[in-house]
Chain A
Amino acid sequence: MRIAILVSTMAVGGVLSACGGTHLTQAKVSSVEAAVRAAEEVGAPALPQAALHLQLAKEQTENAQRLDKVGEGQAADLELTRALADAELAIQLAQTDRERLNAEAAWVKVKESRARQSAN
């Protein structure tokens, strides 16, 4: 899913270099919504920095839909691009924190094992 999100980001980014469409496509909206859900599933709301970017993604998505409704298609498209970038960053931050905790736990296990051996 991460690879699909990265490809969709590049596709959105590629579109940005050309003229934007007049309306948001459902595919783009779905990509962003999927990334937001993924961020929530990996625990982004529990990590302050990740939660911030997740919130930005949600706000930008709402802005995009609002802009689309009033006919500001290109602006909406750019806003959705930002939302996707923030959602992906929230996912990565949560994953990185999980691995950090795993590494810390692994070293604690080593220290505790050595302490037990010393005690014996």
Chain B
Amino acid sequence: MNKYYVVAAVVGVVSSACGAPAVSKELRTAREAYTAAQMGPAQRLNPTGLYEAKGFLVLAEKAHEDDPGSAVERANAYVAERRVQLAVSKANEVASKEQQTAADEQFKTDLVASAERSKSQSKDYADQLKDAKGDIAVSEQGRAAAEKRAQEALLALQRLAAVKQEQNRVTITLSGSVLFRSGSSDLLDVARERLKAVAEALSAYGNAPIVVLGHTDSRGSDESNQVLSQGRADAVRGYLISQGLQSGSIQAVGRGESQPIAGNETPEGQSSNRRVEIVVDQSPTALRGAPSGGTQPAAFR
């Protein structure tokens, strides 16, 4: 082929110089196309196609030698140029297939990497879930233990005083005559012993809010009964704190003669009304945080 190309080039030069028949447009186009294709990807990706195109170019050059500008020369050159284009296009097809293969491989690689990451994350999540389940189990055990202590405390209180269990509160009622001398807010010695046992039982309720309510009968003025009931409530509160209960969890409120539980016409009724109530708030919101001694818990209002 190279021999023919050189010959053709020389002929072209001589022709143009000596007025010989010029190379046909088809042949010139075919030569240029082949030269350009040789420098492109077709040389690497489709050498066979280029070789086939070269075959037609050789035929065209031969025809040009024999009969310059002939129909045979132009037809073979036309075919040669088309075959060069075909070879280049085929090379591009091969390149695209290589690209698709590379993309498919990359997709698979990415999938494997993603699966590995997911596996690692799943392990982390599994570990976190395991820890959380452990925490829940510990919390459940704690709650069950707290409930058991509360039940035991209730039984202990019932042995010491009158106890009323309602939905969110426990009310322990201690007779005033057992705790104080008449008209006084000083605790009797026997009262301290009983209140010591009460404090021990109340400690099972943890930091649950407690209100000590002092009550009197109707003898005397409202004002004096209010002062007496507040003094008695403060005395009981003070003693419970001395036995280890949290001061921030306990309030003392005097109710005076305002909340009788029996008629004040009889001595028995008056005796019943002279009392101290210790109310434990067991509502969930109260158990979340003990009051600081300021605002009265909702269960006591």
| A19 to B97 Cα, complex, angstroms | 42
B103 close to A85 (CB less than 8 A): no
Give the total of B residues in contact with A, Cβ under 8 Å: 31
Q: Considering the chains assembled together, what is the distance between the CA atoms of A82 and B234 in angstroms? A: 119
> What's the least CB distance linking A13 to chain B, in Å?
6
B106 touches A110 (CB 8 A): yes
Q: Which residues of B contact A96 (CB under 8 A)?
A: 89-90, 92-93, 96
Q: Does A114 contact B (CB under 8 A)?
A: yes
- Indicate whether A11 reaches chain B with its CB closer than 8 angstroms: no
Which chain A residues border B114 with CB–CB below 8 Å? 113, 117
Q: What residues on B are CB-neighbors of A26 within 8 Å?
A: none
Q: Distance in Å from the Cβ of A69 to the closest Cβ of chain B?
A: 18
* Contact among A10, A81, A86, A106 with B107 in the assembled complex (CB-CB below 8 Å): A106
- Residue on A nearest B94 in the bound complex, by CB: A99
The residues in B between 74 and 90 inclusive whose CB is less than 8 angstroms from any CB of A are 75-76, 78-79, 82-83, 85-86, 89-90
B residues near A16, Cβ cutoff 8 Å = 59, 63, 72, 75-76
Interface of A: prevailing SS? helix
Distance A17 CA – B78 CA, assembled complex (angstroms)? 14
What is the interface size of chain A, counting residues whose CB is below 8 A from a CB of the partner? 31
A92 touches B90 (CB 8 A): yes
With CB as the reference atom, state the residue of chain A lying closest to B75.
Answer: A78
Contact A85 B83 (CB under 8 A): yes
* Nearest CB in chain B: distance from A80 CB, A: 10
- Docked-complex contact B82 and A6, CB < 8 angstroms: no
B103-149 contacts to A, CB under 8 A, are 103-104, 106-107, 110-111, 114
**Which residues 36-52 of B sit at the A interface, judged by CB distance below 8 A?**
52
A13 with B103, Cβ < 8 A, contacts A86-B82, A100-B96 known: no
Does B85 lie within 8 Å of A89, measured CB to CB? yes
- Cβ B110 vs Cβ A114 within 8 A: yes
User: Would A113 and B72 be within 8 Å (CB), given that A92-B89, A103-B100 are in contact?
Assistant: no
Using A17-B59, A96-B96, A103-B99 as known contacts, say yes or no to A85 and B110 having CB atoms under 8 A apart. no
Judge whether A17 and B110 touch: CB under 8 Å: no
CA A82 – CA B90 in complex, angstroms? 19
Q: Does B231 contact A (CB under 8 A)?
A: no
Cβ–Cβ contact A99 & B93, under 8 A: yes
Chain A stretch 54-107: residues in CB contact (< 8 A) with chain B: 74-75, 78, 81-82, 85-86, 88-89, 92-93, 95-96, 99-100, 102-103, 106-107
Between-chain CB contacts (< 8 Å), 7 pairs: A10-B52, A13-B79, A81-B79, A89-B85, A110-B106, A114-B110, A117-B110
Q: State the 5 A-B residue pairs at the shortest beta-carbon distance, nearest first.
A: A106-B103, A85-B82, A99-B96, A103-B99, A78-B75
Given contacts A106-B103, A107-B99, 15 further A-B contacts (CB under 8 A): A16-B72, A17-B59, A78-B71, A89-B89, A92-B89, A93-B89, A95-B93, A99-B96, A99-B100, A103-B99, A103-B100, A107-B103, A109-B103, A113-B110, A114-B110
